Chains A and B, each alone.
Chain A
Amino acid sequence: MASGDIDVAYVAKLARIALTPAEVERLGAQLGTLLEYVSTLERLPVSDVAATAQVIPSTNVTREDVVRPSLPRDVVLASAPQRQGSYFRVPRIAGEPS
Chain B
Amino acid sequence: MSDLLDATAREIARAVAERKVSALEMAEAAIARVHARDGAVGAFLTRTEDLAREQARRVDARLADGETLPLAGVPVALKDNMCLSETRTTCASRILEHWIAPYTGTAVQRLLRAGALPVGKANLDEFAMGSSCENSALGVTRNPWDLGRVPGGSSGGSVAAVASGMATIALGSDTGGSIREPAAFCGVVGFKPTYGRVSRYGLIAFASSLDQIGPITKTIEDAALVYEAIAGVDPMDATTVARSVETVLDGLREDLRGLRVGIVREFDLAKLEPDVRAVYEQAYRDLERLGAELVEVSLPTADYGVATYYLIAPAECSSNLARFDGMRYGLRVEQADVGATYEATRAAGFGDEVKRRILIGTHALSSGYYDAYYVRAQKARTLIARDFEKAFAACDVIACPAASSAAFEFNAKSDPVSMYLMDYYTIPMSLAGVPSLSVPCGYVTPAGARGPLPLGLELTTPLFTERALLGIAHAYERGTQHGKHHAPPSLESAL
Contacts and interface: CB of A to CB of B under 8 A. Distances in A.
Interface of A: 1-2, 6, 8, 11-12, 14-19, 23, 27, 30-31, 33-35, 37-42, 44, 46, 49-56, 58, 61, 63, 71-72, 75-76, 78-82, 88, 90-93
B360 to A, nearest CB: 6
B463 interface: yes
A93 B355 CA distance: 25
B463 to A, nearest CB: 7
Interface string B325-336: 111111110110
B386 to A, nearest CB: 9
Contacts of A30: 356, 415-416
Contact of A34 (B337, B366, B416): B416
Nearest to B374: A51
Size class of B's contact patch? 35 or more
A17 B383 contact: no
A80 to B, nearest CB: 6
Nearest to A23: B355
Given A49-B379, A92-B338, A37 B417 contact: yes
Contacts of A31: 356, 359-360, 363
Interface in B218-240: 235, 238-239
Interface string B370-408: 001101111111110100000000000000000000000
A40 B307 contact: yes
A96 to B, nearest CB: 12
Contacts of B332: 81-82
A35 B241 CA distance: 34
Contacts, number: 174
B316 to A, nearest CB: 10
B362 A14 contact: yes
Interface string B306-335: 111011000000100010011111111011
B421 to A, nearest CB: 9
B99 A17 contact: no
A6 B363 contact: yes
Contacts of B307: 37-41
B245 interface: no
Interface stretch (B39-47, B178-186, B250-258, B346-354): B346-354
Contacts of B343: 16-18
A17 B385 contact: no
A18 B346 contact: yes
B86 to A, nearest CB: 9
Interface string B269-311: 0000000000000000000000000000000010010111011
B235 to A, nearest CB: 6
Contacts of A37: 306-307, 310, 417, 420
B109 interface: no
18 contacts: A14-B366, A17-B350, A30-B416, A34-B310, A34-B356, A34-B416, A37-B310, A38-B311, A39-B307, A40-B304, A41-B380, A49-B379, A51-B378, A52-B385, A55-B463, A76-B102, A81-B330, A91-B334
B385 A55 contact: yes
Given A27-B359, A40-B304, A79-B102, 12 more contacts: A11-B359, A16-B343, A41-B307, A44-B301, A49-B379, A50-B382, A51-B375, A52-B385, A55-B209, A55-B381, A75-B102, A81-B331
A17 B363 contact: no
Contacts of B196: 56, 58
B187 interface: no
B201 interface: no
Contacts of B249: none
A19 B311 CA distance: 22
A90 to B, nearest CB: 5
B376 to A, nearest CB: 6
B127 interface: no
B67 to A, nearest CB: 26
Contacts of A39: 307
Given A79-B99, A80-B328, A17 B346 contact: yes
